[in-house]
Structure 1
């Protein structure tokens, strides 16, 4: 039996705890940690877990194998370092850290203690994104030329308590844009430079909208648009369009108010240069379920995590920081 501690009983912590409790017979959600007692005890009761208000007390007292860190980003580094020293397997939500220094410290710690660790970049486990990764890697439509991604929504309810309204957390550039930055890094490798423009809201304490143009080392052009300044009734909207030498791949999705509210299905379309249009069937398995299946399999079989690694998380963070720097300074930022 794998015993997991969920640290953070907010929106994403609740999602992980309830999924693990419901879907995995070989997993026990053993502990819930949150400084807000009412919220923490409620989730602990739902998951059949023990509630702790203090992270270090939980590490010392509770017999767990895995620590899943679902706290505000500013807390990630300290918790990862302490979990690694305690010999725990570590799942850490995205963004990995608020700074490159923190990310490097986290990577150093998991390497020092030989810890199996994974970053929560869930798009790498979303079936439609997996399918497109396979198509691009297999060169099915020839060399990719341009990739456009968008992720647009109203300000999420989970930011309303103020924890995400901190200039160090980057607003939409960290919380939303980083999904598609990681997707492009997964597809196209290292970027050369980035130019970004955005809307910064002092009253909010971060970026409300940001648009980033990225040049990759393989000469692919990327364009990412991310925003959460839309009216409350605006549906969560995401999608991508990839232009290749022999055709174009397109997918779009609108449903609910958050990425996790996946009540609608959307088609994956391929338009080839011969004039044909194809709609591809894609597995509808929940991406968060696939993410945990992968990580738990690595743990059970003592296999190395080679997707959504801490290194991947660091690379996505570096690019996100570069987009904010470019948007702030009004000039390109070189990378690599």
Structure 2
């Protein structure tokens, strides 16, 4: 039986707790949150104990995994404390607000020989896994142009930390980093970034960015992220990949999210639309199940710590492009 301690009783902490609780080989031993009431409420649902600090959790509980579901500014200190205690670590994205912290976290976990995975959950969405398989299979030919869109209302966090761009990095670092990671997984390293954004435009609780990525492979991707929707608007995410043989569309707002348009040879009938319907499966449970299996079998997670660093590098280049108004080369740390 693996024992886990969850840091954070907010939205992601609750989501991860549901997933851990669904796994018979895992026991939630403790919840850490500075809001004692929130921590106790979540802990009570799983017959766990509530603590106000990671130090108290580590002192009183024997845990194998520390799961960090805290705001980004608190990632580094808690990763260091968990690694020092030789605990394997699952940490919510982004790994850090800046590259120096991200690199130091990776180095510390390597020194302490603990597993360290960043929760880039898009890699565990069945729809996106199938999309990657279609791309890799060559069904749509050589990929050329990609568009992604991800939109929601402005997030509500403790002390409104999302509203402080110096802490959260806004929609670029906090939300569309999902797409940066997924696209890098599909198409390789990003060479250059150019961004148009509403950042620093004086708009309260609205953020928007359109980021153009140029990959070393030649693929061009347009990544759109919006925190401009009214509260209560359903989350929207979409992927479109155009290749030399066809077009793949994935829209998670549709009951049948896949559509593939294949080019026909000259003289043939019009292109055929092929709907693809994936099996419904919770991506957060897939993600956590994967990490738990890696801990049990002492194998490396499919998402390496360096993948988390690379995603931050792309996001930071996008933020730098906002400041300068110019295309920015992606720094490789």
- Report the TM-score, using the length of structure 2 for normalisation: 0.93
Per the alignment, residue 301 of structure 1 pairs with 297
Query: In the TM superposition, what are the counterparts of 1:190-205 in structure 2 within 5 Å?
Result: 190-201=189-200
Between 1:211-220 and 1:192-201, the stretch displaced more is 192-201
Q: Verify the 8 A CA contact 2:211 2:318 in the aligned structure 1.
A: yes
Distance 1:30 1:204 in 2: 42
**In the aligned structure 2, how far is the partner of 1:114 from the partner of 1:233?**
43
Cα separation, 1, equivalents of 2:206 and 2:320: 12
1:172-187 counterparts in 2 under 5 A? 172-187=171-186
Distance 1:206 1:102, change over 3 A: farther
Which residue of 2 is the match for residue 20 of structure 1? Answer: 20
What 5-or-longer segments of structure 1 have no aligned partner?
Answer: 255-263
Q: Out of 228-237 and 266-275, give the one that drifted further.
A: 228-237
Conserved 8 A contact 1:170-1:207 = no
Q: Cα RMSD (Å) of the superposition? A: 1.6
- 1:207 CA displacement: 7.2
Offset, 1:155: 1.0
**What is the CA–CA distance in structure 2 between the aligned matches of 1:309 and 1:105, rounded to whole Å?**
15
Q: Is the 8 A contact 1:154 1:228 kept in 2?
A: yes
Following superposition of structure 1 onto structure 2, how do residues 150-169 of structure 1 map, counting pairs within 5 Å?
Answer: 150-156=149-155, 158-159=156-157, 161-168=159-166, 169=168
**Paired position in structure 1 for 2:72:** 73
Question: Which stretches of structure 1, 4 residues or longer, exceed 4 Å deviation after superposition?
Answer: 201-207
Quote the offset at 1:270 in angstroms.
0.7
CA distance in 2, matches of 1:302, 1:110: 15
1:252 deviates by 1.1
Please list, as runs of the form range in 1=range in 2, the aligned pairs for 1:311-322 lying within 5 A after superposition. Answer: 311-322=306-317
**Cα displacement string for residues 231-268 of structure 1 (whole angstroms, at most 9, x for unaligned residues):** 224332110100011000001123xxxxxxxxx63421
Query: Cα deviations across residues 160-188 of structure 1 (Å, max 9, x unaligned)?
Result: 74122222221111221111111111111
Aligned residues: 324
Whether 2:36 is the aligned partner of 1:11: answer no
Q: Hey, what's the Cα distance between the residues in 1 that align with 2:280 and 2:162? A: 31
Aligned to 2:320: 325
CA shift, 1:216, in A, is 0.2
- Secondary structure of the structure 1 residue equivalent to 2:62: coil
Within the candidate set 288, 291, 294, 2:287 is matched to: 291
Provide Cα deviations, 1:98-124, integer angstroms capped at 9, x if missing partner: 110111011101111111121100000
Aligned to 2:33: 34
Alpha-carbon contact 2:199-2:322 (below 8 Å) kept? no
Contact 1:167 1:206 in 2 (8 A): no
**Partners of 1:205 and 1:99 in 2: how far apart?**
24
Pick closer, same or farther for the CA change 1:239–1:322 going to 2, 3 Å: same
Structure 2, gaps ≥5 residues long: 265-270
In structure 2, do the counterparts of structure 1 residues 32 and 205 end up closer, same or farther at CA, with 3 Å as the change threshold?
A: farther
Change (3 A) 1:51 1:160: closer
CA deviation vs aligned residue, 1:100-156 (integer Å, no higher than 9, x gap) = 011101110111111112110000000010011112223222110011000011112
- Conserved 8 A contact 1:171-1:205: no
